[in-house]
Structure 1
Amino acid sequence: MTVILVRHGRSTANTSGVLAGRSPGIDLDDLGRDQAESLVGRLAGLDVAEIVRSPLLRCERTVAPLAEKLGLTPVVDEGLAEVDYGRWTGRPIKDLLAEPLWKVVQQHPSAAVFPDGEGLAQVQARAVAAIRRHDTRLAAEHDRDVVWIACSHGDVIKSVLADALGNHLDGFQRIVVEPASVSVVRYTPTRPFVLRMNDTGADLSGLNASAAASPAGVGASDAVPGGAAGTSGKGG
Structure 2
Amino acid sequence: MAGLWDRVTGTQPHPGLWVVLATAAGALVLIGPWPVWRITRTTVTIAHEGGHGLVALLTGRTLEGIRLHSDTSGLTVSRGKPTGPGMILTAAAGYTAPSLLGLGGAALLGAGRLTALLWGATALLLAMLPMIRNVYGALTVILTGGVFFLVSWLTAAAVQAAFGYLAVWFLLLGGVRPVFELQRKRRRGGAPDSDADQLSRLTGVPAGLWVFVFHLVSIGCLVLGGSMLLDPDALA
Answer whether TM exceeds 0.5 for this pair: no
Q: Which structure is higher in strand share?
A: 1
